[in-house]
Amino acid sequence: MQQSNSPPTAKRLLYALLGLSLFWPLPAAATNGPDATENSAAGQTAKQSPQSPEFSLDEVEITAARDSAPDDGYIAKRSSAATKTDTPLEETARSLSVVTGEQMAARGVTDLFDALSYTPGFSDATANRDSRHFLAQIRGFINNFVTHTDGLRMLQGVGVANPNYDTYSFERIEVLRGPAGILYGAGNPGGVVNQVSKQPTSQPLREIQLQTGSNNLFNGAIDLGGAVNAQGNAEFRLTARSSDENTSMDYGKAERHFIAPALTWRPSDNTSLTILTHFQKDDIKGAPDINPYRYLPNHGLYGYSGTRFYGEHDYDRFTKNDKELGYILKHRFNDTWTVTQSARHSTIDEKSRVIYVDSAANGVASRSAEYLDTDLSANIIDTYFQADWSSGAVKHVTLLGFDYQNTGYDYNYAWGSVADLDLTAMNYGQKITDPDFTYMWKYKVKQTGWYLQDQLKFGRWTATAGGRYDRYDSNRLERLTNTYTRIDQSAFTGRLGLVYDAGNGLFPYISYDESFEGQQGTDRYGNAFDPTTGRQYELGVQYAPENSSIRYTAAIFDLRKQNMLTDDPLNQAGQTRYQVQTGETSARGLELEANIAALKGFNLTAAYTYMPKHEITKDTAAANIGRKTANVSKHSASFWLDTAAPAQEQGILAQGWGFGAGLRYIGSRYDYTNTVKLGGVVLTDAMVRYDSGGWRYALNVHNLFDREYVIGTFPAEGYEYVNPGRTFRLTATRRW
């Protein structure tokens, strides 16, 4: 380690960036929308260091080492997803899964659904797997299209304008199950999905990838990185991919293009600044549902092909332009204090035109057109100070943080009837004009959060305690009527966790965590609703023997979402219907997970989830109590086994074959009304690869036996979504 002083220019830049966390909240008190206003904040890993009793901001003269190498490999050992600090997974009193880059490559991952399909507590049996958005369940609670990237929430609009980045741009995916309000603010009680971006590297990295597959898929990708200058204090990364394929619907076509340049600058051993950018364009022509849907016998389209296109070639289209500019700043003041600041500015421009079939009879389909035009501009910043210190025999890692987000969102929606379609002649080519806007909403959002967390280590025990206070406003202008809807809410969330090192790699733990979500609307007396809340008790154990590539976890949990809206018992027929906050949904379950790397030449990933209870436990309508949550399986399981990658010589893969196979079981489940029970299904995935001359050739097949299964059902409307069938990908990758 060496001593150094930050040069004046670097110090001025540092202070200016830190000052943003104070100045960003100053714009006029804007407001906050419903789901779109949920808070997010989670920073990047801050490195622990020996203790020191003092620090000075004006004279930065300290001893520090460069950040350690990233935690890579088939099995992750550390993560900051559950604590915001660089913590060994076994010392985290939470159920946490890390899907590494090696795992994603072995399974031929193409999207988040594929990435998380072998993760306990996760299910995509929610709605159609549409490449425009990511909608899934964690512990039976729908994520409402919300994901996080590099610890910061990906801000989105109300059901649309949702970021859905290409998985090739990520090093790994982290899933923190259960409430996470103290670190991430407003959010779903089921958990958090955090995507970790590929960042600049000090070692040279060059990768090209070509891929083809089912549905006339073709894409090409590059991943480049390394040092920028001879001093080694500047590094870059450039990741990009271009993809073109047909959808499973007739006449459907999907294109995606993204590029993500990144740069890291280290003006001193104590300071680093990483600039992260991401530019992505999605263009989908044809029907929006990437999965075909099957019509039920009571629907007029029953018996027709599930992949038939009922729109117009020149009308049905979805486009989204997503742009992001952000940074991660880390600075060590002395051996005790470190500061990390993450920030992002993002914009989304999204347009969607779709023609739907309202009804069909006598060979004629009556149709309507839906037109969406949305724009989003969002800023989010998270700053936290970390102190590594001791008080007697107790070692502390203390966080004190503040985050802020400001979002502007325009939402314009139109719906109207259009010309009928002759189902025999299929008379495409009719002129379609956009219907007049039905809704024209303008949202303004401001949210602030303050949090404090302490990790205490004493003897064989590690404890975590913390609290957070959030406040946000929302203001929605209905431009057609020039009326405003305002929400002003606040919430406090806390956490407690305790882990015991029982020796020989065994770590039992217990934890309690809370979350909240913003809730719009008022009761019959005009009183604004409070946020919905989540609370969870979890008891678990982790087994991770030292100097091994093995990790087993087991967790039982009791999770409840409370303050949910239910019908007001004072409602009268024919009068305005009001709601009250007395609803509750409860979930209890068991999760098991195993990860083993390079054991006698094999890698293994296995998971099992058992949820005997996931139902409504409080409601003003007695008939609803005990109703099971839609599309939540009592049993689900997965198992993946592949041969470990051959040894490398001077960075070149040794010649040889590799194989892999996986099984996924999705158990039976009920629809929303509990009148339809959906059967379970076993799905099979497979992989074959061959390494030679620096190239890796891999064939991945998903749903090998082409099993069809329902992932969502809407019997009142007469149709249900089904799996898209077998898909395959042939990939050639060259890294040097």
656-690 residue pLDDT tens: 899 999 999 999 999 888 988 888 999 999 999 99
> Which range, of 31-40, 73-82, 94-103, 512-521, averages the lowest pLDDT?
31-40
> What sign results for the dihedral spanned by CA atoms 145, 703, 653, 102?
positive
Report how far residue 695's alpha carbon sits from residue 691's, in angstroms, rounded to the nearest whole number.
6
pLDDT at 632: 94
pLDDT at 128: 65
pLDDT at 43: 36
Do 409 and 161 contact (CB within 8 A), yes or no? yes
How many alpha carbons fall within 13 Å on the CB side of residue 491?
27
Do 698 and 657 contact (CB within 8 A), yes or no? no
**CATH code where residue 473 lies:** 2.40.170.20
30 contacts: CB under 8 Å, gap ≥ 6:
406, 408, 444, 445, 446, 473, 475
Provide the number of structural domains found in the chain: 1
Please give the average per-residue pLDDT across 167-196, as a whole number: 95
Q: Is the pLDDT of residue 187 over 80?
A: yes
228-251: burial string, b at 16+ Cβ within 10 Å, e else: eeeeebbbbbbbbbebebbbbbeb
DSSP 3-state assignment of 232? coil
Tokens of 602: 């094999």
pLDDT at 61: 35
Closest CA to 260 of 350, 323, 346, 195: 323
Report how far residue 252's alpha carbon sits from residue 257's, in angstroms, rounded to the nearest whole number.
17
Closest CA to 387 of 341, 328, 340, 343: 340
pLDDT digits (tens, 9 = 90+) for 447-506: 999 999 999 999 999 999 999 999 988 888 999 999 888 888 899 999 999 999 999 999
DSSP 3-state assignment of 128? coil
Report how far residue 292's alpha carbon sits from residue 112's, in angstroms, rounded to the nearest whole number.
19
pLDDT digits (tens, 9 = 90+) for 123-168: 887 766 666 778 889 999 988 888 999 999 998 776 678 888 999 9
pLDDT digits (tens, 9 = 90+) for 394-429: 999 999 999 999 999 999 999 999 999 999 999 999
Do 245 and 254 contact (CB within 8 A), yes or no? yes
Q: What are 283's strand-pairing partners?
A: 255, 319
Q: Is the pLDDT of residue 47 over 60?
A: no
Task: Work out the widest C-alpha separation in the chain, in whole angstroms.
Answer: 84
Closest CA to 374 of 439, 325, 315: 439
Task: Return mean pLDDT, the chain.
Answer: 87
pLDDT digits (tens, 9 = 90+) for 110-133: 899 999 999 999 988 776 666 677
Q: What are 225's strand-pairing partners?
A: 205, 237
206 contacts: CB under 8 Å, gap ≥ 6:
223, 224, 735, 736
Residue 291 banded pLDDT, cuts 50, 70, 90: low
Closest CA to 392 of 338, 466, 457: 457
- Angle in degrees, CA 232, 234, 236, rounded to 5: 120
Tokens of 376: 């989003």
Tokens of 100: 């590494």
Q: Is the pLDDT of residue 13 over 90?
A: no
pLDDT at 135: 83
pLDDT at 566: 94
383-403: burial string, b at 16+ Cβ within 10 Å, e else: bbbbbbeeeeeebebbbebbb
Report how far residue 233's alpha carbon sits from residue 230's, in angstroms, rounded to the nearest whole number.
8
pLDDT at 391: 93
Residue 51 banded pLDDT, cuts 50, 70, 90: very low
Tokens of 506: 């065994």
287 contacts: CB under 8 Å, gap ≥ 6:
247, 249, 252, 309, 310, 311, 316, 354
Tokens of 69: 């190498």
Do 469 and 492 contact (CB within 8 A), yes or no? yes
Tokens of 254: 């999907």
Looking only at the bridges linking them, the beta strands covering 137-138 and 253-268 are unpaired
Do 501 and 507 contact (CB within 8 A), yes or no? yes
Closest CA to 636 of 670, 661, 610, 613: 610
pLDDT digits (tens, 9 = 90+) for 376-386: 999 999 999 99
DSSP 3-state assignment of 23? helix
Please give the average per-residue pLDDT across 38-45, as a whole number: 36
Percent of the chain with pLDDT strictly greater than 70: 88
297 contacts: CB under 8 Å, gap ≥ 6:
none
pLDDT at 595: 96
Please give the average per-residue pLDDT across 32-52, as a whole number: 37
Q: Is the pLDDT of residue 210 over 50?
A: yes
Please give the average per-residue pLDDT across 23-29, as a whole number: 37
Query: What phi and psi values does residue 683 have, to the nearest 5 degrees?
Result: -115, 145
Tokens of 184: 């991430």
Report how far residue 564's alpha carbon sits from residue 343's, in angstroms, rounded to the nearest whole number.
32
DSSP 564-611: EEEE-TT--TTS---EEEEEEEEEEEEEEEEEEEEETTEEEEEEEEEE
Residue 290 banded pLDDT, cuts 50, 70, 90: low
Looking only at the bridges linking them, the beta strands covering 148-149 and 152-153 are antiparallel
Do 556 and 590 contact (CB within 8 A), yes or no? yes
714-727: burial string, b at 16+ Cβ within 10 Å, e else: eeeebbbbbbbeeb
pLDDT digits (tens, 9 = 90+) for 598-643: 888 899 999 999 999 999 999 999 999 999 999 999 999 999 999 9
DSSP 623-677: GGTTPBPTT--SEEEEEEEEEPPPPEETTEEPSEEEEEEEEEEE--EE-TTS--E
Q: Is the pLDDT of residue 40 over 90?
A: no
Place of tokens 């009879």: 361
Q: Is the pLDDT of residue 15 over 80?
A: no
Place of tokens 């801000």: 155
pLDDT at 387: 98
> For 190-308, where are the alpha helices, taking DSSP H only?
none
Q: Is the pLDDT of residue 32 over 90?
A: no
Q: Residue 519 CA to chain centroid, in angstroms?
A: 21
Looking only at the bridges linking them, the beta strands covering 148-149 and 191-197 are parallel
Residue 718 banded pLDDT, cuts 50, 70, 90: confident
CB atoms within 10 A of CB 635: 15
Q: What are 473's strand-pairing partners?
A: 446, 488
CB atoms within 10 A of CB 693: 8
Q: Which helix (H) or strand (E) holds 523?
A: none
Q: Which of 7-21, 118-132, 336-350 has the highest mean pLDDT?
A: 336-350
pLDDT at 35: 39
Inter-CA distances, 692 with 101, 175, 220, 516, Å? 21, 34, 20, 52
Q: Which helix (H) or strand (E) holds 114?
A: helix 112-116
Report how far residue 405's alpha carbon sits from residue 394's, in angstroms, rounded to the nearest whole number.
35
Report how far residue 641's alpha carbon sits from residue 603's, in angstroms, rounded to the nearest whole number.
6
Please give the average per-residue pLDDT across 568-582, as a whole number: 90
Identify the domain containing residue 196 by its residue range.
2-735
Order of strands across the sheet with 719-722?
Answer: 293-295, 719-722, 710-714
Closest CA to 161 of 289, 33, 274: 33
Q: Is the pLDDT of residue 698 over 60?
A: yes
